Chain A
Amino acid sequence: MTPEIGHYALVLALLLAAAQALFGLLGPVLAQQRYVQAVPFAVAGQFVFTALAMACLVNALVQMDFSVRYVAENANSALPLFYRVAAVWGAHEGSLLLWILVLSVWTVAVTLRSRALPQRFIARVLGIMGLLSVGFLLFTLATSNPFLRLDPAAPDGRDLNPVLQDFALAIHPPMLYIGYVGLSVAFAFACAAMIEGQLDQAWARWTRPWTTLAWAFLTAGIALGSWWAYYELGWGGFWFWDPVENASFMPWLVATALIHSLAVTDKRGLFKSWTLLLAISGFSLSLLGTFLVRSGVLVSVHSFAADPARGVFILAFLVIVIGGALTLYAWRAPGLRSSAGFELTSRESFLLFNNILLVIAAAVIFGGTMAPMVSDALGQGALSVGPQYFNPTFLLPTLPLLALVSVGMHASWKRGNLSRTQRPVLATLALAVALALAVWMGAYGTGSLMLPVGLGLGLWIILSSLVDPIDRLRRGLSLSAGVLGMSIAHIGLGLLTLGIAVVQTASIERDSALVVGQSAQLGAYSFRFDGVEPAEGANFNATQAKVTVQRDGVDVAVLQPQKRTYWVQRNAMTEAAIKTQWNQDLFVAMGEDVGKGAWSLRMQVRPLIQFVWFGAIIMMLGGIIAGLDRRYRQLKPVAEQEPNTVDVAAGARTA
Chain B
Amino acid sequence: MSRANRFLLPLGGFALLVLLLVVGLKQAPDKGIIVSPLVGKPAPALVLPTLMDPAVTLDAAQLYKGQWYLLNVWGTWCVECRYEHPALLELQKTAGIPILGMDWRDDEATAQQWLKELGNPYDQVVSDKEGRVALAWGVYGAPETYLINPEGIIATKRVGSMTPAIWEKQFLPLMAQRK
Contact = CB atoms under 8 A, between A and B. Distances in A.
Interface of A: 69, 72-73, 76, 150, 154-159, 161-163, 273, 277, 280-281, 284, 288, 291, 295-299, 301, 303, 305-308, 311-312, 315, 318-319, 322-323, 326-327, 329-330, 333-334, 370, 373-374, 376-377, 539, 566, 568-573
Nearest to B110: A155
Contacts of A159: 105, 131
B31 to A, nearest CB: 7
B10 A330 contact: yes
B130 interface: yes
Contact of A154 (B23, B77, B128, B132): B77
Interface in B114-166: 128-133, 135-136, 140-142, 159
B45 A156 contact: no
A161 B105 CA distance: 11
Contacts, number: 134
Given A297-B21, A566-B130, A305 B28 contact: no
B37 interface: yes
A158 B105 contact: yes
Given A159-B105, A377-B20, A377-B27, A327 B11 contact: yes
B33 A296 contact: yes
Contacts of A326: 10-11, 14
B18 A315 contact: yes
B14 A322 contact: yes
Given A297-B25, A570-B47, 15 more contacts: A76-B105, A154-B77, A156-B77, A158-B141, A291-B21, A298-B24, A301-B37, A303-B34, A306-B33, A315-B18, A323-B14, A329-B7, A370-B17, A569-B129, A571-B47
Contact of A158 (B14, B22, B25, B75): B75
Nearest to A277: B10
A146 to B, nearest CB: 15
A307 B141 CA distance: 14
B18 A318 contact: yes
Interface in B21-60: 21-25, 27-29, 31, 33-35, 37, 45-49, 57
Given A150-B79, A273-B7, A539-B130, A568 B25 contact: no
A69 B18 CA distance: 33
B179 interface: no
Contacts of A281: 10
B140 A305 contact: yes
A157 B35 contact: no
B1 interface: no
A8 B158 CA distance: 35
A280 B105 CA distance: 45
A307 B142 CA distance: 15
Given A162-B131, A323-B14, A571-B132, A296 B20 contact: no
B131 A296 contact: no
A72 B33 contact: no
B178 interface: no
A155 B109 CA distance: 13
Contacts of A571: 45-47, 132-133, 136
Nearest to B11: A326
Given A156-B77, A158-B105, A273-B7, A315 B21 contact: yes
Contacts of A303: 33-34, 140
